[in-house]
Amino acid sequence: MLVLILFVLLFARAAYLGTIRAGWLSAKADNQHLIRVNEPAERGAMMSTDGQFLAMDTPTTQIIADGRYVKNALRTTDRLISVLGGSPARREKLLSDLSAHKAYIVVAPNASLHDTRILKSMKIDGVVYRRNSKRTYPLGPVAGQVLGFTNLETRAGIEGLEARLNDHLTGRDGGFTEVQDMRLGQTVRILNERKSVAGQSVELTVQAEIQKQVEDVLVKTRKKYKAKSAMAVIMDPNDGRIIAMASVPRMNANDRSTLDVNASQVRAITDPYEPGSVFKVVTVAGAIEEGLTTPSTMYSVPAKLPLEFEGRIRYVTDAHKRSSTEDMTTTEILQRSSNVGTILISQSLRKRDKLRYWMDRFGFGQRTGIDLNNESEGDLPKTPWDDGQRVNIPFGQGMSATMIQQVRAYAAIANGGMLVSPHVVAKINGRASAVASPKRIMSVRTAAQLTGIMRTVVESTTGTGGLAQIANYEVAGKTGTSQKVVNLRYSDKHFQASFIGFVPAKNPKLVIAVMIDDPSPNGGPHTAAEVAAPAFQEIGDFALGVLGIAP
């Protein structure tokens, strides 16, 4: 009877395990011997127009240990750490996990292939190797803000072009199921294999060699003048291709430990600022196009101009002080960067209610549509303007604009009157990116007259842009030194120094803009003529040589 009862119990247990618990037991067996592996797709690479890799996926290995099958935790820990490296704290944590026989320990998420080969040769029990990849930026900080970076875990883009083009760059993950002998740490066979599909490659308009030089010049200039920051853009005025776009401090996405979120933005499109006198060309362009002035029109320009501000008479003067009234042509007003003269020119536009119209026509107060995220539209105040705005805005104070807006405005002068669409993406998977068609905003004649005026700013002995001259090339450009607002008032100690110009002046191939933020805050050189113009000259000279642009 006892034996019979035991057989009945054994039969009941077998029936229970074979029916009711069958699914659970099968799943448990699968979990012990079948490992489902996701095979991440290679993210699309980004390359410069001169064929250099700017962002790419580098093959790595994910190293996983199963403490249940590690025979000697101390020896295994020492072997892994001797190859992979790590702090004492990391070593202690790994030793603790292995000693506790944890089943899934990520020893290294992205080990190099070199380290992987060494560890595999050691034939360590309980250690499994899986293919992985890591996003890297071969040129380090070069074009860092434009490229952006990805999330280390999800690998999705979260800044710059990595975010903007994430759908194109992201491929389709593959995967497979491994049948493993965990005691030996070996894969017996592969089931249900699904190939991954790589993301699309992207070619940028950026020229890597020029981009690096621009950044080097900005770093050097910022350090020399102890400036808060600096930025620059080079664009082809004829089609809007961005050849270089940089700001310092820089960002290196390869080193996340030093990543500064504030340095990750493309400041040329996200940070509007008061442009100062570089904006005067827009006021003059509108007046010429409306037939209200010519390059040779003469103005009697007082040393100080009495104007009514909020019911009180106040005086506007030039940054370059004068003691008496002088006769100046429109050309000389821009050449010498006269605030008073620019106000006189703007008054004729204001009488026709055309002053803001021409600023809007040049694209200020609106986004350029550049193919990067977080572009600002700047601030061009709506009319009617108050007394202070009517005086300040014509010479670039009391309003704000991004550098890319200013570059596009100068490009319209350089190319004969067409407003182009700035862009940094040339091709996606070999197909040219769509770019909006240029729009005419002024006549060829007006653009030519402005170019002639701007050449005198650089070439004339009385012009403010003499240090922007490039040997053997004709340069057209304009300086701008704007006062920064500190404690709600314009400061006489803190400035933003800009120079924007194009070269060669007769057949422009490059528009170059440079802005140095708060140079020499404790006194010393701070004007655009002293600080920004030399940086323009150095950048321009290098870019012309690399691109082989003839004088």
Q: Please give the average per-residue pLDDT across 167-179, as a whole number.
A: 83
Say which amino acid occupies 462.
T
DSSP state of 238: T
Sign of CA dihedral 534, 139, 242, 407: negative
Name the burial class of residue 434, with classes exposed (0-12), middle (13-18) and buried (19+) by CB atoms within 10 angstroms of its CB.
Answer: exposed
- For residue 224, pLDDT beyond 60: yes
- For residue 183, pLDDT beyond 60: no
> What are the pLDDT digits (tens) for 434-489?
999 999 999 999 999 999 999 999 999 989 999 999 999 999 999 999 999 998 88
> What are the pLDDT digits (tens) for 357-375?
999 999 999 999 999 999 9
Report the alpha-carbon distance of residue 268 to residue 271 in Å, rounded: 6
Q: Which of the four pLDDT bands, split at 50, 70 and 90, describes residue 27?
A: low
Looking at residue 103, what is its pLDDT?
A: 80
Token couple for 298? 């003469």
- For residue 16, pLDDT beyond 90: no
Backbone torsions φ then ψ of 163, nearest 5 degrees: -80, -45
Looking at residue 309, what is its pLDDT?
A: 75
- For residue 31, pLDDT beyond 70: no
Q: Please give the average per-residue pLDDT across 7-14, as a whole number.
A: 85
Looking at residue 410, what is its pLDDT?
A: 98
Q: How many helices (H) and strands (E) does the chain have?
A: 18, 21
Token couple for 440? 């005419």
Looking at residue 30, what is its pLDDT?
A: 52
- For residue 25, pLDDT beyond 60: no
How much is the mean pLDDT over the chain? 91
Q: Please give the average per-residue pLDDT across 255-259, as a whole number.
A: 83
Say which range, 21-25, 385-389, 410-414, has the weakest mean pLDDT. Answer: 21-25
In this structure, are residues 400 and 344 in contact, taking their beta carbons and an 8 Å threshold?
A: no
307: left (phi over 0), alpha (psi -120 to 50) or beta: beta
Looking at residue 262, what is its pLDDT?
A: 81
- For residue 186, pLDDT beyond 80: no
- For residue 26, pLDDT beyond 80: no
Query: What residues pair up with 129 in beta bridges, in sequence order?
Result: 63
Looking at residue 189, what is its pLDDT?
A: 67
Name the burial class of residue 421, with classes exposed (0-12), middle (13-18) and buried (19+) by CB atoms within 10 angstroms of its CB.
Answer: middle
Looking at residue 34, what is its pLDDT?
A: 66
Looking at residue 109, what is its pLDDT?
A: 86
Q: Please give the average per-residue pLDDT across 43-68, as a whole number.
A: 93
- For residue 181, pLDDT beyond 80: no
Say which range, 62-76, 203-217, 407-421, has the weakest mean pLDDT. Answer: 62-76
Looking at residue 550, what is its pLDDT?
A: 94
Report the alpha-carbon distance of residue 410 to residue 547 in Å, rounded: 21
- For residue 502, pLDDT beyond 70: yes
Looking at residue 51, what is its pLDDT?
A: 95
Q: Please give the average per-residue pLDDT across 186-203, as a whole number.
A: 79
> What are the pLDDT digits (tens) for 510-548?
999 999 999 998 889 999 999 999 999 999 999 999 999
- For residue 32, pLDDT beyond 70: no
Say which range, 240-244, 258-262, 358-362, has the weakest mean pLDDT. Answer: 258-262
In this structure, are residues 515 and 232 in contact, taking their beta carbons and an 8 Å threshold?
A: yes
- For residue 178, pLDDT beyond 90: no
> What are the pLDDT digits (tens) for 261-312?
788 999 999 999 999 999 999 999 999 999 999 999 999 999 999 887 777 8
> What are the pLDDT digits (tens) for 79-136?
999 999 989 999 999 999 999 988 889 899 889 999 999 999 999 988 988 888 899 9
Which residues touch 12 (CB under 8 Å, ≥6 apart)? Answer: none
Q: Which of the four pLDDT bands, split at 50, 70 and 90, describes residue 146?
A: very high
Query: What residues pair up with 385 in beta bridges, in sequence order?
Result: none
Looking at residue 188, what is its pLDDT?
A: 60
